[in-house]
Chains A and B, each alone.
Chain A
Amino acid sequence: GQQVMQIPQYQHVQEGEDFTTYCNSSTTLSNIQWYKQRPGGHPVFLIQLVKSGEVKKQKRLTFQFGEAKKNSSLHITATQTTDVGTYFCAGKTGFQKLVFGTGTRLLVSP
């Protein structure tokens, strides 16, 4: 079945450093979504990418969808302590349901 892997599993950065998480799917995706889950919380939607090569920005966050629509990345510029949490990508193939990635846990030290 469809598998979605993320790397790294965990990253610890100093406040102000950049952070990137990578998402790779075993199959071509129709779209990809990104979610953030704070410790003890539930996943919260960040963004959806649909087009091949698409790039979207939300303030310090930059999201990319690969040309082959099998990979994606999330880059955070100048991290802040409020960025702490686990970031999940979630991919969808055709009429299949969203499959969540393994997640990248981000810890930011002040």
Chain B
Amino acid sequence: ETGVTQSPTHLIKTRGQQVTLRCSSQSGHNTVSWYQQALGQGPQFIFQYYREEENGRGNFPPRFSGLQFPNYSSELNVNALELDDSALYLCASSLGQVNTGELFFGEGSRLTVL
């Protein structure tokens, strides 16, 4: 177990809706990264939060947004859902602003958009 928990584990939405995914990082970790993993693909970096500030963003549109709270837990919000947003969303926690060590992944939230 990595100590990283995500919720919900599975959810189904329809096009145009909005979704919020949640992540609790491993104790002591102050950095959270979010990844999108489509079926059969590698994880794609969405963004990273360090001490409540966005600290790097991948090639995702602004309708993907996030938050990190003082306890270092995090949320990923996706507005105006599209069919292609169907994927496994992975949260990973780590220590430090610059990734020098391993990422600890949660089990993921599997989103299906109909």
Which A residues are closer than 8 A to B by beta carbons? 1, 4, 31, 33, 41-45, 48, 88, 92, 95-103
Main SS class of interface, B:
loop
Other-chain contact of B59, A1, A48, A98, A102 (Cβ < 8 Å): A1
Give the size of the chain B interface in residues (CB under 8 angstroms): 24
Q: Is B104 an interface residue (CB 8 A)?
A: yes
Cβ contacts under 8 Å, B33 to chain A: 97-98
Cβ contacts under 8 Å, B101 to chain A: 48
Q: Is the pair B99, A43 in contact by a Cβ cutoff of 8 Å? A: no
Q: Is B66 an interface residue (CB 8 A)?
A: no
Q: Which residue of the partner chain A has the closest CB to B108?
A: A42
Q: Which residues of B, 85-114, contact A by the 8 Å Cβ criterion?
A: 90, 98-108
Q: Is the pair B59, A43 in contact by a Cβ cutoff of 8 Å? A: no
- Known A48-B101, A98-B33; 7 more pairs at CB < 8 Å: A31-B100, A43-B43, A97-B56, A97-B58, A98-B103, A99-B45, A100-B43
CB distance from A102 to the nearest CB of B (A): 5
Cβ contacts under 8 Å, B103 to chain A: 33, 43, 45, 98
Q: Which residue of the partner chain B has the closest CB to A9?
A: B40
Cβ contacts under 8 Å, B98 to chain A: 95
Q: Is the pair B90, A42 in contact by a Cβ cutoff of 8 Å? A: yes
A99 to B59, CA, bound (A): 12
Other-chain contact of A100, B2, B42, B59 (Cβ < 8 Å): B42
Cβ contacts under 8 Å, B48 to chain A: 97
Other-chain contact of B102, A1, A4, A42, A45 (Cβ < 8 Å): A45
